[in-house]
Every structure is written in C-alpha cells, then in structure tokens.
Amino acid sequence: MNSSCAHSSTTPRGAHKSAASSDNLAPQNQLFLSYFFTWYRRHRRVDVRCACVAICAGFGALSLCLLIPRWLQLASGAPQGKVIGIACAAGAVLTALIYRTLANERAKQAAATELASALLDANRECMKLIDLDGNMLRISEYGAGLMDAESPAQLAGAPWLSFWRGEDGAAARTAFAGALAGRRTAFSGFAPTATGRPKRWDTRLTPIKDEKGRVIAVTGASLDVTSHSDLLAQLQAKNELMSEMEAHVPLVFYSYGADFKSFHHVSAGCFKVFGLEPAQLLQHPSAWMEMVLEEDLPLVRGEMDRIVSHSVDGRVEYRIRKADGSIRWLRSTGYPVQDEAGTVLRIIGITEDITAEQERIATLDRAAFTDSLTGLANRAALFREIEARCAAHTPFGLMFVDLDRFKVLNDTLGHVAADRLLKGIGDVIKDALPPDAYIARLGGDEFAVLIGSMAEKTGLEAVADALLVDLSRSGRDDGAGTFVTASIGISLYPEHGANHEALLTSADVAMYAAKKAGRNCFMFAGKEAAETIGDFELERDVPEALASDQFLLHYQTIHEPRTLTVHSAEALIRWQHPRRGLIPPGVFVPILEETGFIADVGAWVLNSALSQLAQWRGLGAANLGMSVNVSARQLRGDGIVWEVERALLKFGVPPAQLEIELTETALMENPYHAQKIIAALKALGVRIAIDDFGTGYSTLKYLADFAPDTLKIDRSFTSKLVSDPATQTIVEGIVDLSRKLGIKVVAEGVEEQQQLDILRDVQCDFVQGFFLCRPQPPAELERMLHVGADNQTIGA
C-alpha cells in the first residue's frame, strides 16, 4: 500500500524514479523557522505558568541570598539593608532569566506545533511516519482518505514496503535504504489502496535524525498522480496516433498565416503529397505554389483570397507538377480562425492527393460518354459538346451521317460482321475529317460530326464530298463486293438552331432529304427542316390541345347545283393554337396520323359534328345531312363502327343523315378489312362516300366491292373543267357511270361560275367549293343560311 496522497501529476505511467540521494538538495529552513518563531512569539501573551515558575525561582534565590551568608557567618559585619538589596537583585535577575528561558522553549514548542498543523492541513499528500523496520507508525488523516482507509488507525503498524510489487517494490526498497542512510530519496510507482484499488504515486522519503545525526525514523510524502498519469497517457497516445496518421496518411495538415507568407505547422504527410519535407515549407512557404500548374494558379489564388477577405471556408482542386515530372491532382480545404473582433488570424486545413479520385471520375466519364463499339463519343457526349459550343457562341457545322441500306448489310453479313464494319466506318470517318473534328456515334448506323474550323457551306461541302468518297472506298475485301455509302445532312450554328435538339433535328431532316435525292450525297438544312421542326413542336402540343379544347370545327355546305339549295355540310377540323393562331388541317392532320392521335381527334370530330347537327335539327333543319371524314388509321380497327353507333344514339340523329367520307388510299390499305367496316357501317344505315375520287386507286372493281353511296370528284379535276375538254369528258363519264350504279356524285373545289355551269350541264348531283361557301364557324353558317327562320332553305 502506497502512502501517497495528493493531487494529480504529469509523471508518465510506468516510469520509475530510482531512489537517489537528495541531501545536497535538502532545504535549509533555519531562517524561515527563525522568522516564524520571532513572529509567533510577538503575538503570544504572557505565559502565566512560566511567570509563576520564574517568580518562585526568584523568591528562592532571594531567600538563599539572605540565608547563606548568615549560615556561613560571612556578612556579620555588613549592613543588613545592603544584604537584602543584593539578595533582591539576584532574585530578580534569576527570575527574569528563568522566565525568558521557559517562555522561549514553550513558544518554540507551540510554534512548531502550529506550523506543523498548518502545513499538514495545507498538504495534499499522503504523509506517514515510518520506523526503521519499515512499519508505518502513523499516517495523516488526509493520507488515510487517499488510501481508502476508514481512519489512520486502520493502517497503523502496517509494513509500508509490502504495498509495492515488482519493479516498483525494488524502487521502494532502494529509496527506503537511502533514507535510512540519511539521504532524501524519491521514486514513482503503483501501489494499491486499502481496498485494493491501484494508484500511481510520486513518493519522497525524508530521514528524521536525532541530535547526534542518527536516523531514528523516516517520513514519507506520496502524491496521488493517477489521474494525471492517465491523462498524460491519453495525450501521449493521441500524439502518437496523430504522428502515425501524419506520417502514413496522404494528407497534409497545416496552419498557414493569414497573409500566406508563413506556416505555423506542416505535418509529415507533406512529403507524400508534395514531395517536400515540412522543414522546406516552413523555410520557404511559397514552395508548394511554385509547383501548381500555371493554368490552375488563378483559381488557387482566388480561393485563398476569398477565404481571408470573406472569412469563409474554402475548397479548391488543382494540379501540381512534382519534381519527378508527374502531374497530381490535389484538393486543399481551408478554415479561417478569427479573433473576437472577426479578424482572421490564421488558416488551418488539409491538403489531400485526389489523383485516384480524378482518374476514377475520368474513367466513369469515358464509360458514360463513349460508344463501347467504336470508342467514339456517344450521343450524350455529343449533346454535351454541342451545348458547350453553343454557350461559347462560336459558329460550327454539324454533319449527320447515316449509312445507306445498312439494314440490308446487317442482315446479309450478320451482327458480328456488321459491328466490325461499323467500327471500321468509325475509323474511316476519323481519317477523312480535319484534326479538330469531334466525331460521335449516335447508335446503329448513325454518326455525327462537329467541325469548328470551318463553319461555312463551301468548306463543309468539301469535307462532306471527301467523306463520301472515302466511305465508298472502304469496302471489305471478302469476295462479297460489300461497299458502303452514306447520306449526310448538314446544319449550321446559329443559322439552323441554338441548341442540340434544333441542330440535330435540322441535320436529320436534311439527311432524309439526301436519301430522297438518291442517297450517297449530302444536303444542307433549309426551309424544309424549319417546317419539320415546327411540325415536331406541334406534335408535342397535341395532348394539350385535346385537353384544353383547342380543336374546333368549321362547316362547308354542299349544294344542289341548279337551285343551290343546301343539301348537307362537311365538318372540317381546325386547330386554334394559343401561339400560332388558326392552323389549317393540311398542316396538322398528317402529324395526327403519324403520331396516332388521329383516332382520339377523329372520335372528337364525330361527336362534335353530330352534336352540332342535332342542334341544327332542333332549330328546324330536319333534313340537313352531315359529312364526317374518317382516316385510314381509324379504319384499321373495329372501333369506328362502335363510335358511330354510340354517337348516333347519343344525339338522336337518323343514320341516313350521316355520311362517312373515306379516301381511296384508306380503302386500299387493307381492302378486305375496309369492306367489312363499310358493310358494318351501312348496316347501321350510315351513308358512305369515297373522297378525292380519281387521285388514288380509281378502278371499277372497288366501286363494286365497296358499293359507296357517294363519289366526291377531286378538286384537281374541277379546276381543269373550263380549260381542258378531256377533263370535262372524264367528269361527264364519272357522272354517267355513277348514275347507272345508283351512286351520287359531289364535285369538290368549285371556285367560279363557269365550273358550276359545266357541272350543271353534265347533271352532277351536288357541288361544293369556295364559289358557293367557304368553311365557316357554326354561328356564321347559321346567320348565312337563316337557321331557325320562317323560310328555311337548308336540307330541301
């Protein structure tokens, strides 16, 4: 058990202070003790007991002075008064001497007791008195508490040396032996308390000597440094950990002056990151910046200035060139340290090598933006490159290259050989183009090229010609005579678009124009491309048009030619676009057919037209008929029959007043299916008309197969009636044949009186055209024909 007690110490755990003599360091406290004694005695009152003893001693001395001469008969001749005076003086002197001596001794004892008590009270050590055999005679009250003892008596007589074990025990015995030899000694070690709890103590042993210099006992003062030792061990462990991290982790921990002219600290990782020793940076703080690549320096300096000027955290990624010539990517992060006034005192942070991270990003970037087959840029990379060039506002040309008849080649050669061919085509394109050309494979047999060195048509024409020649010479020498040609569409920035979508669309349309022109050639984007782009925009707007009722119907009347009585009206769709205004059907109907929206729009037209007819019937036009056009796509399924039947029932319109107009092209797409649909519609009582008769597959056979109720002569015939006798004869023949087959005839496109007169002469059943009535909204048509008036002329 260690007799030590005191506050914590910073002595390292496990460290031993070997016993050593400290006599030469023994404090000489005589002056302090002398001063304390003098000071203490000034504050003591008269000691009554000492005074009484001194008075008694003085009285005794007086008595002796009076009696001794009488006994010895030495002063028989002396005066009696003189003898008494001498005796009194001797008694007084003796009394004073004795009092002073006794008072001094008692004052010393009291002063020593009070001083020792005060020192023990102030002492935070475990104090104990040890006899020459090493047994503890007494331990201080505070020391007993440090030793977890219930009282000092619990440890009285305990062998002090038995508390120490191993190396600590050897150090304790050595120190005790030195104290017995008369030297002051000290050591450190572990010893358990009375409850067995281990503690670390710093112990000092001081010998106690008698007046002859012999050691009669030893005092021990032990300071409890357990907590300090643990803290020191933790700090040392952390320091070792930080040292290991700084030495092995590729990071630089630094503390930089706010003026960036000096380093306060640079960690050992500096060598791994920069190839510089910390001492080099401490001596030459700008050495690291001298390694930064010139193009990255403005970025680095700008971020450093921003950290200090705005007192904000900063981060910058940059490249350095090391002494061996290698280029490394680094990331430096800085944090400003400020005083209470907000002034930046220094910058602390880390710098790390992120070369591997940058290489991974580059690898991922290559994978994401590279075509795996040819190694060229892919579609995403092309989009990114186009947008970057557009943002720079630098003119450039875009070539859209599509191989001719590649599907045939693919089917003939097989997929493996075709892929090999495509890879070779990529190489041919690279070799045929200027060095600055940016080449991408969009997928399949489609390639795209960006050329910035020449953005005018003349230069691009020469490049396109050279490319076509090289492609045509790139055949495989496999005995099959395989050769490759291509169709190229070219668009220019900014003439044909300001983004990748517009430019690619323009080039794509131009490429299709090149294919229509015979393939193995190139075409520049032009008016056709612009119109096509507009069509694409309209295509995107169709769903919104349906949802927000942008479509509407105009109606054009059909007349009896002699009386001009209105027989029926044809429903014609229009698109009231919110930005482009009223769009004619010739522009958007083909888009509806290509996208499949024609089925939805056709159903809407049927319902709207019959709804309007029902309204007019309610206003008195009981015999008015309604013609509705049905597209080829609507005719492909059976849904048209169900839609017509449902609409007739919904609006209460007699089936005979509805005429479905079908084009020859729609009928001949699938004649057998069309014949079934027509039969089903006629079974409902609906009339069937063949629109644009004479422009498609006009044969007598399909007149017999489809048995239409009406033929509508195309306006191309009507327009030539006056100037072309042959056309007049054809029209007259159509009318005569139709009359014999029981089919009514409507002549479209009547735009002048002479055309009407001729149609009357050939006895055409009905006429339709701008000369009689232009397509009009329902309200305008009602006002023109006086629907609901007393003299109703519609549907006579």
Tell me which of 9-18, 71-80, 640-649 is least confident: 9-18
Tell me the residue type at 724: D
pLDDT at position 496: 86
- Per-residue pLDDT at 72: 56
- The long-range contacts involving 328-337, CB below 8 angstroms and separated by at least 24 positions, are 328/273, 328/353, 328/355, 329/353, 329/354, 329/355, 329/357, 329/358, 330/273, 330/354, 332/300, 334/256, 334/303, 334/304, 334/307, 336/258, 336/307, 336/308, 336/311, 336/312
User: Which pLDDT score, from 0 to 100, does residue 420 have?
Assistant: 82
Asked whether residue 530 carries a pLDDT value surpassing 80, the answer given is no
Which helix (H) or strand (E) is 69 found in, with range?
A: helix 48-72
Q: Is the pLDDT of residue 756 over 90?
A: yes
How many residues does this entry show for the chain?
796
Q: Is the pLDDT of residue 60 over 80?
A: no
- The SS3 assignment for 70 reads helix
Which among 738, 736, 731 has a CA at the least distance from the CA of 716? 731
What Å distances lie between residue 29 and 20, 34, 203, 579, 768, CA to CA? 21, 8, 21, 108, 138
Kindly tell me if the per-residue pLDDT of 789 is higher than 60. Answer: no
* DSSP single-letter state for residue 475: -
Q: Indicate whether 634 pLDDT > 60.
A: yes
pLDDT in tens, 30-43: 555 565 556 555 55
Q: How far is CA 193 from CA 154, 163, 164, 472, in A?
A: 12, 8, 11, 100
CB atoms near residue 318 (< 10 Å): 20
Residue-level pLDDT at 695: 66
pLDDT of residue 746 exceeding 90, the answer is yes
User: Average per-residue pLDDT in the chain?
Assistant: 82
Q: Count Cα neighbours of 493 within 13 Å in the Cβ-side half-sphere.
A: 27
From residue 558, alpha-carbon distances to 694, 770, 773, 777 in Å are 19, 11, 8, 15
pLDDT for position 51: 64
What proportion of the chain, given as a percentage, has pLDDT over 70?
A: 79
The neighbour count for residue 90, using CB atoms within 10 Å, is: 16
Residue 277 has pLDDT above 70, yes or no: yes
* pLDDT at residue 225 greater than cutoff 90: no
pLDDT at 748: 94
Work out the pLDDT band at 288, boundaries 50, 70, 90. Answer: very high
Give strand pairing partners of 159: 135
Per-residue pLDDT band for 184 (boundaries 50, 70, 90) equals very high
Reference 325, options 297, 352, 296, 293; nearest CA is: 293
pLDDT at 627: 96
Over residues 251-256, the mean pLDDT reads: 89
Confidence of residue 586 (pLDDT cuts 50, 70, 90): confident
- Give me the mean pLDDT over the 116-129 stretch: 71
pLDDT value, residue 631: 86
534 has a pLDDT exceeding 70: no
- Among the listed ranges 206-215, 569-578, 646-655, which one has the minimum average pLDDT value? 206-215
SS3 45: coil
Q: What is the pLDDT of residue 638?
A: 81
pLDDT at 471 over 70: yes
Least confident of 268-272, 299-303, 734-738: 268-272
Question: What pLDDT is recorded for position 48?
Answer: 63
* Mean pLDDT of all residues in 200-213: 88
| Segment holding 404, helix H or strand E | none
pLDDT tier at 226, thresholds 50, 70, 90? confident
End-to-end Cα distance, the chain: 132
| pTM attached to this predicted model | 0.45
Q: What is the rounded CA–CA span in Å between residue 680 and residue 687?
A: 11
pLDDT confidence of residue 12: 39
**Core vs surface per residue 189-223: b (16+ CB within 10 A) or e:** bbbbbbeeeebbbbbbbbbeeeeeeeeebbbbbbb
Question: How do 687-693 and 658-663 pair as beta strands?
Answer: parallel
Residue 400, SS3? strand
Specify whether the backbone of 481 is left (phi greater than 0), alpha (psi in -120 to 50) or beta: left
Highest mean pLDDT among 287-291, 340-344, 371-375: 287-291
Please determine, for residue 27, whether its predicted confidence score (pLDDT) is greater than 60: no
Q: Report which DSSP code applies to 159.
A: B
- Cα–Cα distance between 750 and 764 in angstroms, integer? 12
More confident residue, 531 or 452: 452
* The residue type at 403: L
Using the predicted structure, report yes or no on whether residue 788 has a pLDDT greater than 90. Answer: no
Among 796, 716, 730, smallest CA distance to 764 is for 730
Whether residue 102 has pLDDT greater than 70:
no
Q: What is the mean pLDDT of residues 194-217?
A: 88
Round to whole Å and give the CA distance between 635 and 190: 103
Average pLDDT over residues 174-183: 93
Query: Which of the residue ranges 104-113, 433-442, 600-609 would you say has the lowest mean pLDDT?
Result: 104-113
What's the whole-number mean pLDDT along residues 519-531?
A: 77
Cis bond upstream, residue 494 (ω within 30): yes
Average the pLDDT over each of 54-68, 235-249, 589-603 and give the range with the smallest value: 54-68
Q: What is the pLDDT of residue 116?
A: 61
Res. 227: pLDDT tops 50: yes
Task: Give me the residues paired with residue 256 across strands.
Answer: 263, 347
pLDDT of residue 43: 53
Position 1 pLDDT exceeds 60: no
